[in-house]
Structure 1
Amino acid sequence: MSIQSPGLAPAGGQGRINTLYFAVWRWHFYAGLYVIPFVLLLSITGIVMVWFSAIAPEYGERLPVMPQGAALAVQAQADAAAAHAGGTVTQYIAPYGAENPALFRVAVGDAARIVAVNPYDGAVLRDTAEGDTWEELADHLHGELMQTGAAKVWGDLAVEIAASLALLLVATGLYLSWPRNGRTLRDMLVPDLAARGRAFWKSLHLVLGTWLSVILVFFLLSGLSWAGVWGGTFVQAWSTFPAEKWDAVPLSDATHASMNHTAIATVPWALEQTPMPESGSGAGSAGTAPGAAVDLSAVVALARELGFDARFQVNFPQGESGVWTISRDSMSNDSTDPTSDRTLHVDQYSGRILADVGFADYSPAGKAMAVGIPLHMGLMGLWNVVLNIGLCVLLLLIAVAGVVMWWMRRPAGAGRLAAPPRPELVPLTKGVALIGLGLGMAFPVLGLSLLAVLLFDLVVLGAVPPLKRALS
């Protein structure tokens, strides 16, 4: 199979290989034009997010407090937070340990504040408007390019296109760097530090890309699982925990995603699209003490009784049919162990447990994402922080090396892009065709992007000579 200009016959032998090499190089180049700005943006925002989530959290949850005997009742702590912010408490986040404060989300009109409270004396240690953090800003840039409302879809799509084309960059990059024509496996794995000029930058780009290819694919796939098309429409929809597993429990029209209050998602990926249960049916299993008030203190006591230790979260019921939700998951920075993730719903009237979902209940894809998302976010410990920041720095270096290589290859004063030449004949072996078809079917945005670039290269550039010269 081949893409052939009129009047030319297929070439064979080494010419066939060289022609395919130049075609792949050209695809690699054009994909890089779109992806490199996103690599710079996503790497920088990734470093910011990892730093403020794992090293210097901004809501005050890691502030030191001095233990002073027994802690105040959790309701007293909540009352202190509500009085300070002048609103209504809607969420409680237990301290990491005896020397850390508790956090309370306090709704104030249409907004909310996160208040850090000393659990021993009720003193407010920090008061922050929800979402008014560097991590939130970086996350909003990282996922939607700061777009809101209807435009958020387009920001998300632009990032998804970049991540999809980055998969193409990995595949084409490995093909281009594969040993051939005197180049050895050592050249692919060990940088030539003695080289000078463009040869040095090419060696650096090639070797770093080779070593990072596997881990980069993992990060791209885990990131795409959040994206609107491949993630939300395909993978997540197929892998969501089925609410039908909850026996005879009435379901709400609201999903678990309704508990995500800002751009930073805190609800487990496998549950986001799962409907919430409803209160008031008398269904469920034994929970809080019968006849006692089902309030924050009772729900926290139930959580402790069921094995929730250290940091966990309690979301208050939303509306008359809402439920108390007790949760601990690693993507919310509650723990560094994804296998301890657990979400439990309690009827706000009877105190009965309506649903109890843990890591073991997730689908295989749900389990993979339960581990993959905190790993992607750098939340699984210091080693994960070092890994992620190191990866971001190396990706910045790869991108810079690619730009330097292009600049040094570009003819001085050419006034054009100086893209790799487009062969008149591009031989496509069955293997190449099947790989392209498989990637396009597995990642629809990638397939459509490849089709758009191919049509632009073969049709538009051919029909507009000035544009062809500028981009050639």
Structure 2
Amino acid sequence: MSDLTIGRGSNGAAVQSASDLYRAVWRWHFYAGLMVLPFMITLAVTGALYLFRDEIDAIVHSDLKAVEIAESVARASPSAMVTAAIAAYPGTAIKFTDPATPATSAEITVNTENRGKLAVYVNPYTGQVLGSLPDRGTIMWTIRYLHSLKYFGSFARALIEIAGGWSILLVGTGIYLWWPRRQTGGVLSVRGTPKRRVFWRDIHAVTGLFVGFFIVFLAITGMPWSGVWGAKVNEWANGNNFGYPAGVRVAVPMSDEHLDHVAKSSWSLEQAKIPQSAQHTHGAQPIGLDDAVAIFDRLGLHRGYAVNIPTSPAGVYTGSVYPDDLSRQRVVHLDQYSGQPLIDMSFADYGPLGKWLEWGINVHMGQEFGLANQLVLLAACVGIITLAVSAGVMWWKRRPAGSLGVPPMPADRRVFRGLIAILITGGVVFPLVGLSLAIMLALDWLYARISRPRPA
């Protein structure tokens, strides 16, 4: 066709071009769904449960976590509670967790010889030991590890990064496929009945329209936990200051131990190193747990903070707390001999990137906006499960017998240039995502060659 040719011929070419683009997008929407839908179902179910972790743990473990308020009774000292915990479960106390509310128990982490680390729960009013669980052994810690795939090793954490990138691709291609093209239904309404494929197509499309934003948001805010991108960004953000945000005073002796290895920490502080007590060589006596707790109280740490107890002469008392209110996040390391704060930092000390990422993580976990945050994300999780189920039913109803049902390859392969551009962009920003896209592009090319009809 020459440049001067207009009319029906060019209209036909335009229609063919649009059809080829639609086929290419549909094909890669199918592949994206094939890659991430199993992950999305698992993440949606475990994520929905974890949104209500405090409420569920309080019910399931009420015999250990709940106590009757006795305002007229003087509370047992932290050291007395630690002594009671060790008497019941012999070992070394390594952490004391302050009761978060007047109606909750204290938690003492004891490193035992035969049973490993135990979380021992003590009534703060009576000093009575209520029982124990394996450290991080509550039902919600189990759900959290399932959600993060931590049970499946570091390779699985890399899959989170890949799934996150493909989820974004899934939403982008889904919006293109949803975009109205003269149809009267399936945009904001659902046609047909569950017996018909169009019903499931419309359920999928309409649900995806409303849930797509949340999928992208959750994918991006979940990236900090990924094995490659998350670790590198953390190192880039805090790598030149012993893992602390720039500007935090760290001109004190530092150990090689990381905060995340000894206590729950925020994402920004996973690689932060723990300082050392500097006065242990001068014959000074440790201040003790009771005095350390009193100092943390005077410093104003939010209730429910954890205190890591030093187990070596150079160790420090580390008080840390990460409540729903981001502004109250705080970590303080005390010299175990003088009681002086060696490092004292809070959310206000994070850099702009750290603050943005921590805010996203807080929303991701359903904490930032209270119950409304939990309910909105619960609805999003239900929507994600609906998307996955409707996609499966829709595929089952349209697939040819004995075939995987991959959408047809476009006649003009040049439409894949846009995909290659996405591959390059994804490879620069998220290396594992770019690598997975390249592998899928090669597999798609190989599949197309194998499945191509042979001439008679």
CA contact (8 A) 1:59 1:126 kept: no
Where do residues 34-433 of structure 1 align in structure 2 (5 Å cutoff)?
A: 34-57=35-58, 62-67=65-70, 68-109=72-113, 111-144=116-149, 146-147=151-152, 152-180=153-181, 182-183=182-183, 187-188=186-187, 190-192=188-190, 194=192, 197-233=196-232, 235-240=233-238, 241-242=244-245, 245-260=248-263, 266-280=264-278, 293-329=286-322, 335-380=323-368, 381-411=370-400, 414-428=401-415
CA distance, structure 1, for counterparts of residue 355 and residue 247 of structure 2: 19
Q: What's the secondary structure of 2:119's corresponding residue?
A: strand
Query: What do residues 360-410 of structure 1 show as CA deviations (whole Å, max 9, x unaligned)?
Result: 111222112322223222344322332333222211111000011111112
CA contact (8 A) 1:280 1:350 kept: no
| CA apart distance, 1:52 | 3.6
Say whether residues 1:448 and 2:446 are aligned partners: no
In structure 1, runs of 5+ residues without a counterpart are: 1-10, 261-265, 283-290, 330-334
Runs of 4+ in 1 over 6 A off after TM superposition: 429-432
CA distance, structure 1, for counterparts of residue 221 and residue 314 of structure 2: 34
Tell me the C-alpha RMSD between the 2 structures: 2.5
* Cα pair distance change 1:417/1:432, threshold 3 Å: closer
Task: Identify which of structures 1 and 2 has the higher relative contact order when contacts are C-alpha pairs closer than 8 Å and 6+ apart.
Answer: 1
Deviates most, 354-363 or 97-106: 97-106
Query: What do residues 290-346 of structure 1 show as CA deviations (whole Å, max 9, x unaligned)?
Result: x884211111101111112422111112533221111111xxxxx221121011111
| CA apart distance, 1:183 | 3.6
CA distance, structure 2, for counterparts of residue 14 and residue 371 of structure 1: 45
| CA apart distance, 1:351 | 1.6
Report what 2:9 is aligned to.
none
Query: What do residues 72-129 of structure 1 show as CA deviations (whole Å, max 9, x unaligned)?
Result: 1121111111211122211111112222211111111271111111111111223111
CA contact (8 A) 1:59 1:116 kept: no
Q: What's the secondary structure of 1:280's corresponding residue?
A: coil
CA distance, structure 1, for counterparts of residue 420 and residue 147 of structure 2: 33
The one-letter code matched in structure 1 to 2:102 is A
Q: What's the secondary structure of 1:276's corresponding residue?
A: strand
CA contact (8 A) 1:42 1:142 kept: yes
CA contact (8 A) 1:94 1:313 kept: yes
CA contact (8 A) 2:51 2:366 kept: yes
The one-letter code matched in structure 2 to 1:105 is T
Report what 1:22 is aligned to.
23
CA distance, structure 2, for counterparts of residue 247 and residue 37 of structure 1: 44
Query: What do residues 248-279 of structure 1 show as CA deviations (whole Å, max 9, x unaligned)?
Result: 2122212222124xxxxx21111111222121
The one-letter code matched in structure 2 to 1:170 is V
Query: What do residues 438-471 of structure 1 show as CA deviations (whole Å, max 9, x unaligned)?
Result: 233212221111111111111x224534xx78xx
CA distance, structure 1, for counterparts of residue 192 and residue 245 of structure 2: 58
Q: What's the secondary structure of 1:100's corresponding residue?
A: coil
Figure out how many residues of one structure are paired with residues of the other and give that number. Answer: 428
The one-letter code matched in structure 2 to 1:66 is I
Q: What's the secondary structure of 1:270's corresponding residue?
A: helix
* Cα pair distance change 1:258/1:159, threshold 3 Å: same
Query: What do residues 126-152 of structure 1 show as CA deviations (whole Å, max 9, x unaligned)?
Result: 3111233332332332222632xxxx1
* Cα pair distance change 1:73/1:255, threshold 3 Å: same
Report what 1:31 is aligned to.
32
CA contact (8 A) 2:29 2:170 kept: yes
The one-letter code matched in structure 1 to 2:287 is V
Report what 2:8 is aligned to.
none
CA contact (8 A) 2:65 2:105 kept: yes
The one-letter code matched in structure 1 to 2:100 is Y
Report what 2:241 is aligned to.
none
In structure 2, runs of 5+ residues without a counterpart are: 1-11, 239-243
Query: What do residues 198-225 of structure 1 show as CA deviations (whole Å, max 9, x unaligned)?
Result: 1111111111111112222111112121
CA distance, structure 2, for counterparts of residue 19 and residue 393 of structure 1: 33
The one-letter code matched in structure 1 to 2:87 is A
Report what 1:332 is aligned to.
none
| CA apart distance, 1:54 | 4.1
The one-letter code matched in structure 2 to 1:198 is R
